[in-house]
Amino acid sequence: MIQKAAEILESSKSLFVLTGAGISAESGIPTFRGTDGLWKNYSATDLATPEAFEKNPELVWEWYHWRQGIILKAEPNPAHFAVAELEKKFNNFLLLTQNVDNLHRRAGSKKVLELHGNIFRARCLSCGRIVHHQIEPGKEINNLPKCDCEGLLRPDIVWFGEQIPQDIWQASLEFLSAADTSIICGTSGIVWPAAAIPEMAKKNRAKIIEINLEPTPISSIVDVSILGKAGEILPLIIQTLNTNI
Ligand code: BJW
Ligand code: ZN
């Protein structure tokens, strides 16, 4: 399977990569679904909604600050570095991530678009201003974060039921329509619109390589499905590429 993935990549001219929470799991960042997605008995997917923020902004901010703390202590893992390495090998390359943790950039990725926002940004609900927002590790935050205009800040994150950034989505689709290969890594494949990407790639006759710990709803349409840890599989694919060249 590794060899087949490497062969597909060797015959490709443009590569689209879609990543999800699974690629950051080996950096110690909890994924959304499954038991590690639980925080104080709340499910991550229940907290990532505008309704949860409206009802209890303190709780939702506490969760995002807790996650910031984990992310600030985390390091990119071999899977993030492998994706950055792939970018160097392909002139035509785009990484679309659903993750908000910045780890791809910290690993050296440059051509990266964030579909669901960034955990280190906040947006003012009154004036719309977007600001950098980062906790100081060890320092407790007692008040709700406020903008200079005194408006309430919210995480600059795309929650369920909210529109994804249209410029990022359009740019991704434009690249995808011309890409001959897609790698789909560490995503459950159930959150839309990212979940539609493999089907769109297939319609464009692109080859699809999926890397995940377990089969997903996408697995039935991909050309190569590799079950395993992203941090082990992606470096192995790169090694095989280098050996074949
Ligand atoms: C490993 C591994 C290792 C582990 N190596 N692998 C059409 C049909 C049905 C529903 C909808 C629809 N259109 C819209 C919806 C509603 C909704 C949706 O999709 N709901 C579904 C749950 C059904 N979508 C939306 O609301 C989106 N907006 C939208 O479409 O706007 C238009 C619209 C609005 C209203 C109505 C209709 C249309 C917005 C989605 C925003 C998602 N936001 C979140 C939270 C914010 C980010 C944050 O706080 O960090 O984004 S939810 C959460 O899910 C997060 C993630 O980015 C996203 C995807 O999760 P991901 O990455 O797949 O993670 P997991 O945990 O689910 O899976 C991890 C995977 O990794 C697993 O498969 C593991 O096996 C694997 N893994 N370790 C390799 N080491
Ligand atoms: Zn403001």
Return the CATH number at 205: 3.40.50.1220
| Ligand 1 atom closest to the CA of 214, numbered from 1 | 75
Q: Identify the nearest ligand to the CA of 214 by its number.
A: 1
The answer to whether residues 123 and 228 belong to one domain is no
Token pair 């060899």: residue: 3
| Ligand 1 atom closest to the CA of 117, numbered from 1 | 47
Q: Is the pLDDT of residue 245 over 60?
A: no
pLDDT for the residue 124: 98
Q: Identify the nearest ligand to the CA of 131 by its number.
A: 2
Q: Is the pLDDT of residue 66 over 80?
A: yes
Measure the CA–CA gap between 188 and 20, rounded to whole angstroms: 8
Domain boundary (157, 180, 212) is at 157
Measure the CA–CA gap between 244 and 228, rounded to whole angstroms: 22
**Would you place residue 244 in the very low, low, confident or very high pLDDT band (cuts 50, 70, 90)?**
low
Q: What is the dihedral of CA 241, 16, 76, 82, to 10 degrees?
A: 0
| Ligand 1 atom closest to the CA of 188, numbered from 1 | 73
Sort residue 161 into left (φ over 0), alpha (ψ -120 to 50) or beta. Answer: left
pLDDT for the residue 45: 85
pLDDT for the residue 39: 84
**Ligand 1 centroid vs 98 CA: distance in angstroms?**
8
pLDDT digits (tens, 9 = 90+) for 150-200: 999 999 999 999 999 999 999 999 999 999 999 999 999 999 999 999 999
The answer to whether residues 138 and 228 belong to one domain is no
* Residue 152 Cα distances to 106, 113, 117, 159, 164, angstroms: 29, 26, 18, 17, 21
The answer to whether residues 112 and 153 belong to one domain is no
pLDDT for the residue 140: 75
The answer to whether residues 222 and 150 belong to one domain is no
**Ligand 1 centroid vs 242 CA: distance in angstroms?**
33
Q: Percentage of the chain with pLDDT > 70?
A: 99
Domain boundary (137, 157, 177) is at 157
**Ligand 2 centroid vs 128 CA: distance in angstroms?**
6
The answer to whether residues 141 and 42 belong to one domain is yes
The answer to whether residues 126 and 110 belong to one domain is no
Q: Whose CA is nearest to atom 80 of ligand 1?
A: 229
Q: Could you list the residue range(s) of the whole structural domain that residue 126 is in? A: 30-73+118-157
Q: Identify the nearest ligand to the CA of 37 by its number.
A: 1
Average pLDDT of every residue of the chain:
95
The answer to whether residues 186 and 208 belong to one domain is yes
Mean pLDDT of 37-48: 86
Q: Is the pLDDT of residue 84 over 90?
A: yes
- Provide the number of structural domains found in the chain: 2
The answer to whether residues 233 and 150 belong to one domain is no
Q: Among 35-39, 53-57, 114-118, 128-132, name the one with the lowest average pLDDT.
A: 35-39
The answer to whether residues 56 and 170 belong to one domain is no
**Catalytic residues, which ones?**
116
Q: Percentage of the chain with pLDDT > 90?
A: 89
Mean pLDDT of 209-220: 97
User: Is the distance from CB of 94 to CB of 17 less than 8 angstroms?
Assistant: yes
Up-side HSE of residue 238: CA atoms within 13 Å toward CB?
19
State the CATH number of the domain containing residue 47.
3.30.1600.10
List pocket residues of ligand 1, CB cut-off 6 Å. Answer: 20-22, 25-26, 31-33, 37, 45, 48, 98, 100, 116, 157-164, 186-188, 190-193, 211-214, 216, 229-230
**Ligand 2 centroid vs 66 CA: distance in angstroms?**
24
The answer to whether residues 47 and 62 belong to one domain is yes
Give start and end residues of each alpha helix (H) in 11-125: 22-25, 44-47, 50-55, 57-73, 78-89, 103-106
The answer to whether residues 185 and 236 belong to one domain is yes
